[in-house]
Structure 1
Amino acid sequence: MPDYKGEKFKNFLSKKSISAIKASEILGVSRQTVYQYFKSSALERETVNNILARFGVNEEDVFGDSDLKDKRLSNARYIGDPSIYDEVGETKFTEISPGRYRMGTELVPVYAQAGYLTGFADKEYLEELPKHYITVDRYVRGKYRSFEISGDSMDNGDIREAMPNGTIATAREVKKDHWISKLHNHQWPNWIFVHKTEGIIAKQIANQDVKNGVLVLRSLNPDKDKYPDFEVHLDEIEQIYNVVKRELK
Structure 2
Amino acid sequence: MIKDLPIASIRFKSIRQEQKLTQQTFAECLGISGTTADIERGKTKISGEIVTKLFQLYRINPLWLFGESNEKYLHPSDNTLPKVVTLNSEEQENVMMVPVKASAGYAHNLQDVEWYENLPAFDLPLPEYRNATHRAFQVKGDSMHPVLHQGEWVIARATERLSDIKPDNLYVVVLPDTVVVKKMIVTNEHTQLISINKEYPPIECPTSEIQEVWQVVSKITTNFEVPEYTYDKLAQEMKAGFEAIKSRL
| TM-score, normalised with respect to structure 2 | 0.49
| TM-score, normalised with respect to structure 1 | 0.49
* Structure with a larger share of its residues in strand: 1
Task: Report which of the two structures shows the higher radius of gyration computed on alpha carbons.
Answer: 2
* Structure with a larger share of its residues in helix: 2
